[in-house]
Amino acid sequence: MAVKQQRQKMRRPCIDPGDGVLQGLAILSALGLLLLVFLIGLQIWRAAGPSLTRFGWSFIFSRTWDPVAGVFGALPYIYGTLITTLLGLILAAPLSLGAAIFLAELAPRPLRTVLGFLVDMLAAIPSIVYGLWGNFVLAPWLLRFLEPWLGQHFGWLPLFQGPMYGTGILAAAIILAIMISPLVTAISREVLALVPTGQREALQALGATPWEVVRVAVLPSARTGIIGAFTLGLGKALGETMAVTLVIGNRPEISWSLFAPAHTMTSVIINEFAEAITSLHVAALIHIALLLFLVTLLVNILARLLIYRMERGGKDGMMHEL
């Protein structure tokens, strides 16, 4: 302890004045960023004012959305956004994790490079392209093959009942999964590659198979980063607009069936904003934007908390055998 203090004292005179400047700049830009987020939030809040005062909390729980009568409730849109995001994430999780593990740990070198490049390219395709593909290729395929098949074999679940359209919650979830998987895969792969060689070698030297090395040595070290990757994917899915609008059917309904069309917070904004005539309608749309902003913030905070708890918890590794 004493030695440490002494060392710090000895170092102080040597600090470069540039260090102070750099530190100041860093703090300033961090604060600036926070301020920016705050200002955006404030602006949306103010623009949503008329809707906020008129509907208050009931906006979140009401299902009626009637621009002519001037009554607005956002529940179907909130539901649509949450259900498609959740499903998309569930579909994307095994796919991206598997792909990342394969690319980082198991694939032979040359294959890694080629496949890694392809994944990065997938991540760079504009969302409208996915949307059009979803609309013209995926949705008809769902209607002809997957949805009848699901209905036939799993029709006893409410999830797979009701009329089929091709476009709908299922299509949107699949499109979202396809869109976020490359991103999540790319980041997870980087995170896995960052796990020190020493960790791998320690386990290899104990006679572990390649899969055991991944499961016991690599994944536990990388889990925080992987959760971070999924958080980014989640954010992307929550905010995704164009592709979803093109495949979800755009009907503000709440249904158990995944075949049913739905609407999301982003898709209603983009569909109605240009045609919104009354100021209350505009305010209601901005109100939805405010909710989306809050939901995104909340989800990110929750993910942070999860990571924080895992880092502190530390000991509950993936080794249940022990």
Between residues 164 and 214, which has the closer beta carbon with respect to another protein?
214
Q: Which two tokens stand for residue 257?
A: 């069936």
Which residue shows structure tokens 């074999």?
153
* Distance in Å, CB of 206 to another protein, minimum: 4
Instruction: Kindly state the smallest distance separating residue 175's Cβ from another protein, in Å.
Output: 35
| Binding positions for another protein, rule: CB under 8 A | 108-109, 196, 198-199, 201-209, 212, 216-217, 220-221, 223, 314-315, 317, 319, 321-322
Give the whole-angstrom CA distance, residue 284 versus residue 290. 10
What distance in Å separates the CA atoms of residue 42 and residue 267, rounded to the nearest whole number? Answer: 23
**Residue nearer to another protein on the CB measure, 221 or 296:** 221
Q: Which is nearer to another protein, 62 or 221 (CB)?
A: 221
Q: Which is nearer to another protein, 62 or 199 (CB)?
A: 199
The least distance separating another protein from the CB of residue 186, rounded to whole angstroms, comes to: 22
Q: How far is the CB of 214 from another protein (least distance, A)?
A: 13
Closest approach of Cβ 221 to another protein, in Å?
A: 6
In the bound state with another protein, the residue whose beta carbon lies nearer, of 13 and 198, is 198
C-beta of 320: minimal distance to another protein in Å? 9
Nearer to another protein, 9 or 320 (CB): 320
